[in-house]
Structure 1
Amino acid sequence: MKNYNMRYYFPIGLLIFIFLDGSLSNVFAREFFTGGISIESLLVLLWLVMAIFYGEVDRLMLWAFVAGLIFDMYYTGILGIYMIIFPLVVYLNRQVCRFFTSSFLVVLLIYLIDLTLVSALAFLANSLIGLANISLADFFVADLGPTLAYNLAWFAILYIPIKNFFEKFS
């Protein structure tokens, strides 16, 4: 018998993580966006990656699209960037996760790759439309590095609770 709780819990969790991304960025704006450093909170990506490895979520590609649409509408103001990137990451992760066991280290490394991919694709898209005006080297040092450190710290903190949640309700 299939557990239908995830049908309701997953979208609620997705909205909570989208809200947390914006709220943490707002509350810590002085720390996240100082001088030459910019940190992007991508906890919604953590939620999606953990759903791939530990959850049984119906229509995850659709939810990734919806998360990208909301993320674009409220945080970037440009429709299309995350609306395409999040489903792409979900698709790629589904293809890759078949070859690996779900362990802390494997999920951590895949999340690291996903963060790099999402940040780099968003930077590339913003560069193409003229919104990013820094060099690639500056992007790696001032944006990608701090973003990876911040999001990987949250991964270490939230891994066990999110894993337990998905295992319990999937």
Structure 2
Amino acid sequence: MRISKIRYYYPLGLFIALFLDGALSDTFAGNFFNSNSTIESRLFLLWIVMSVFFAEVEHPYFWAVTIGLTFDLFFTGIIGPFFMLVPLILYLTKVMYSFFTPSFIVVLLIYLIDIALFTLLFYWINVLIGFTSVSLASFISGTLGPTLAFNLAAFVILYVPIKGLMELASR
């Protein structure tokens, strides 16, 4: 019985994407975080969405919980919302996937829906616990819009390489 390489590439790629998100935010902090806008890199969500469409991953919810927990502990120091939001987004992606045939546009739209939902839920959680008092309109124009634009560009650049890697590793 042959063991698929995706078993090893998926968690490795997921953690690389997570830490690349942090590295991009740190390296380009002056551009990503300013008084007019905030950009949140979500490359780990790109990895998760692409895996739903192009790979047979064993225990995807385990990895989703693990990456959410890792994000919370590494970047914030406490167990927080990512621990719950990442598995929820994975579940919703799988539900949406069941209705569509994979194509560039379908994967792109589902990825953008996931980012919008993820970012909006994270905002609402922060409003509920009093971490932010930014209005919804300011949030949409200052964070959600730039975040979607950045991640759209990342998707266009990374779609073919990630799809090829996942299809190759899944054989």
Q: Give TM-score, length-normalised by structure 1.
A: 0.96
Identity across the alignment (%): 51
Number of the residue aligned with 1:76: 76
Unpaired runs of at least 5, structure 2: none
Number of the residue aligned with 1:123: 123
Aligned equivalents of 1:22, 1:10: Cα separation in 2: 19
Number of the residue aligned with 1:44: 44
Aligned equivalents of 1:16, 1:45: Cα separation in 2: 12
Deviation at 1:95, TM superposition (A): 1.4
2:59 counterpart of 1:64: no
Deviating above 3 A after TM superposition, structure 1's stretches of 4 or more consecutive aligned residues are none
Number of the residue aligned with 1:108: 108
Deviation at 1:2, TM superposition (A): 4.8
The residue matched to 2:158 in structure 1 has which SS? helix
- Per-residue Cα deviation, 1:17-76 (whole angstroms, up to 9, x for no partner): 011000000000000001121111110000000000101100001101111111111223
Q: Counterpart amino acid of 1:130?
A: G
Deviation at 1:133, TM superposition (A): 1.7
The residue matched to 1:38 in structure 2 has which SS? coil
The residue matched to 2:6 in structure 1 has which SS? helix
Aligned equivalents of 2:76, 2:99: Cα separation in 1: 34
The residue matched to 1:125 in structure 2 has which SS? helix
Unpaired runs of at least 5, structure 1: none
The residue matched to 1:37 in structure 2 has which SS? coil
Q: Counterpart amino acid of 2:131?
A: L
Check conservation: 1:18, 1:71, Cα contact below 8 A. yes
Aligned equivalents of 2:76, 2:118: Cα separation in 1: 14
Aligned equivalents of 1:123, 1:74: Cα separation in 2: 19
Check conservation: 1:3, 1:169, Cα contact below 8 A. no
Q: Give TM-score, length-normalised by structure 2.
A: 0.96
2:153 counterpart of 1:153: yes
Aligned equivalents of 2:11, 2:121: Cα separation in 1: 25
- Per-residue Cα deviation, 1:119-146 (whole angstroms, up to 9, x for no partner): 0000001111111120000000000000
